[in-house]
Amino acid sequence: MPKYLWKVQYSTEGAQGLLDEGGSARRAVITKMVESVGGTVESCHFALGGDQLYVIGSVPDEVAAATLAFRTAASGSARSESIPLLTPEQVDEAVERDADYRAPGK
């Protein structure tokens, strides 16, 4: 299953919901949402800065990842960025493949 890093930014409304519910309850809701599309959550971490939450998990395919992104955005409480993650073995495979590429100006 493809693995993703989801970076989440809460809106004012979402931050208020987090204050009302707490972090553990939010993690449970996120885990249930990811599991509802056939995925799993590996880790869930709140953070300070531009992004307030980082989630690492796996979903069956890109359509499942898009479903999560659309549902999150439609709530108006948060905005997420879905970043596909690669294993070291996938990177090995990628660097072994050839591509027809010319650097700019060459």
Q: Is residue 104 part of a domain?
A: no
Least confident piece of the model among 13-17, 94-98, 102-106: 102-106
Is the per-residue pLDDT at 106 higher than 90? no
C-alpha–C-alpha distance, residues 17 and 45, integer Å: 17
Q: Do 7 and 79 form a contact (C-beta atoms < 8 A)?
A: no
Is 90 exceeded by the pLDDT of residue 56?
Answer: yes
Tell me the C-alpha to C-alpha distance, in Å, between residue 37 and each of 1, 42, 43, 74. Answer: 12, 15, 17, 17
- Show the domain range for 65: 3-96
Q: Structurally, how many domains does the chain consist of?
A: 1
- CATH number for the domain spanning 19: value is 3.30.70.920
Percentage of residues in the chain having pLDDT higher than 90 = 97
